[in-house]
Structure 1
Amino acid sequence: MHDSTVARAPRNTTLAVDGFLARYRGATRALYAGDLRIYQAWCDSHGLDVLEVRRPDLERFREHLEDDRHNAPRSVRRRLQTIRSFYRLAVADELIDRDPTVLLRMPANRVEKTPSWLDRWETQRLLQYAERESPAHHALIAVMVMLGMRVSAVCAIRVEDFAEDRSGYRVLTSIGKGGKRSVKPIPVPLVRIIDAAIAGRTSGPLILRRDGRGQDRNGAYAWVKILCRKAGLPDNIHPHSLRRTAITAIIDNGGTLAQAQTFADHADPRTTQGYYSRGETLDAHAAHIAARLFAA
Structure 2
Amino acid sequence: MTDTLASAALPAAPDLAAAVSAWLRHLAAERKMSAHTIDAYGRDARQFLAFLAERCGAPPSISGFVHCAPGDLRAFLARRRAEGIDGRSLQRALSALRSLARAIARDTDETASALGAIRAPKSARRLPRPLNPSDARAVTTTGPRAGEAREQWVLARDAAVLALCYGAGLRISEALGLKRADAPIGAVEAVTVIGKGKKMRSAPVIAPVRKAIKDYLALCPYTLKPDGPLFVGAKGGPLSPRIVQLAMERMRGALGLPDSATPHALRHSFATHLLARGGDLRTIQDLLGHASLSTTQVYTGVDSARLLAAYKSAHPRA
TM-score interval, smaller chain:
0.7 to 0.9
Asked if residue 281 in structure 1 is aligned to residue 302 in structure 2, the reply is no
Query: For the Cα contact (< 8 Å) 2:6–2:21, is it kept in 1?
Result: yes
Aligned equivalent of 1:7: 7
Structure 1, residues 56-109: CA drift from partner, whole Å, max 9, x if none? 5545554665567x6554334334323323323443555532344224464432
Give the match's secondary structure for 2:167. Answer: helix
Q: In structure 1, what residue type is equivalent to 2:290?
A: H
Q: In structure 2, what residue type is equivalent to 1:82?
A: A
Match for residue 269 of structure 1 among 293, 298, 302:
293
Q: In structure 1, what residue type is equivalent to 2:267?
A: R
Aligned equivalent of 1:75: 89
Aligned equivalent of 1:224: 248
Q: 1:183/1:5 Cα in 2 relative to 1: closer, same or farther (>3 Å)?
A: farther
Counterparts of 2:242 and 2:279 in 1: how far apart (Å)? 32
Q: What does 1:133-144 align with in structure 2 at a 5 Å threshold?
A: 134-144=155-165
Aligned equivalent of 2:99: 85
| 1:118, distance to aligned residue in structure 2 (A) | 1.8
Counterparts of 1:107 and 1:94 in 2: how far apart (Å)? 28
Aligned equivalent of 2:191: 172
Query: For the Cα contact (< 8 Å) 2:24–2:42, is it kept in 1?
Result: no
Give the match's secondary structure for 2:91. Answer: helix
Asked if residue 153 in structure 1 is aligned to residue 166 in structure 2, the reply is no
Asked if residue 49 in structure 1 is aligned to residue 64 in structure 2, the reply is no
| 1:176, distance to aligned residue in structure 2 (A) | 0.6
Q: What does 1:204-219 align with in structure 2 at a 5 Å threshold?
A: 204-210=228-234, 212-219=236-243
Query: For the Cα contact (< 8 Å) 1:87–1:99, is it kept in 2?
Result: no
| 1:163, distance to aligned residue in structure 2 (A) | 6.1
Asked if residue 34 in structure 1 is aligned to residue 39 in structure 2, the reply is yes
Structure 2 portions without partners, runs of 5+: 9-13, 54-58, 149-154, 312-318
Query: For the Cα contact (< 8 Å) 1:144–1:242, is it kept in 2?
Result: yes
Q: Report the RMSD for the aligned CA atoms in angstroms.
A: 3.7
Counterparts of 2:169 and 2:256 in 1: how far apart (Å)? 22
Give the match's secondary structure for 1:83. Answer: helix
| 1:257, distance to aligned residue in structure 2 (A) | 2.5
Counterparts of 1:163 and 1:208 in 2: how far apart (Å)? 13
Match for residue 27 of structure 2 among 14, 20, 26:
20
Asked if residue 201 in structure 1 is aligned to residue 201 in structure 2, the reply is no
| 1:245, distance to aligned residue in structure 2 (A) | 0.9
Counterparts of 2:107 and 2:242 in 1: how far apart (Å)? 35
Counterparts of 1:183 and 1:62 in 2: how far apart (Å)? 40
Normalising by structure 2, what TM-score?
Answer: 0.70
Aligned equivalent of 2:140: 127
| 1:177, distance to aligned residue in structure 2 (A) | 1.2
Query: For the Cα contact (< 8 Å) 1:148–1:247, is it kept in 2?
Result: yes
Match for residue 162 of structure 1 among 174, 182, 199:
182
Normalising by structure 1, what TM-score?
Answer: 0.74
Counterparts of 1:64 and 1:213 in 2: how far apart (Å)? 43
| 1:209, distance to aligned residue in structure 2 (A) | 4.3
Counterparts of 2:282 and 2:188 in 1: how far apart (Å)? 22
Query: For the Cα contact (< 8 Å) 1:182–1:265, is it kept in 2?
Result: yes
Give the match's secondary structure for 1:233. Answer: coil
Structure 1, residues 15-50: CA drift from partner, whole Å, max 9, x if none? 33333333333xx43123312432454436931235
Query: For the Cα contact (< 8 Å) 1:135–1:197, is it kept in 2?
Result: yes
Which is worse superposed, 143-152 or 231-240? Answer: 231-240
Q: Which has more helix, going by share of residues?
A: 2
Asked if residue 117 in structure 1 is aligned to residue 130 in structure 2, the reply is yes
Give the match's secondary structure for 1:148. Answer: coil
Q: 1:59/1:125 Cα in 2 relative to 1: closer, same or farther (>3 Å)?
A: same
Q: 1:145/1:170 Cα in 2 relative to 1: closer, same or farther (>3 Å)?
A: same
Counterparts of 1:88 and 1:121 in 2: how far apart (Å)? 48
Q: In structure 2, what residue type is equivalent to 1:154?
A: A
- Percent identity between matched residues is 22
Query: For the Cα contact (< 8 Å) 2:178–2:193, is it kept in 1?
Result: no
Q: In structure 2, what residue type is equivalent to 1:23?
A: E
Q: In structure 2, what residue type is equivalent to 1:182?
A: R
Counterparts of 2:113 and 2:214 in 1: how far apart (Å)? 51
| 1:216, distance to aligned residue in structure 2 (A) | 4.5
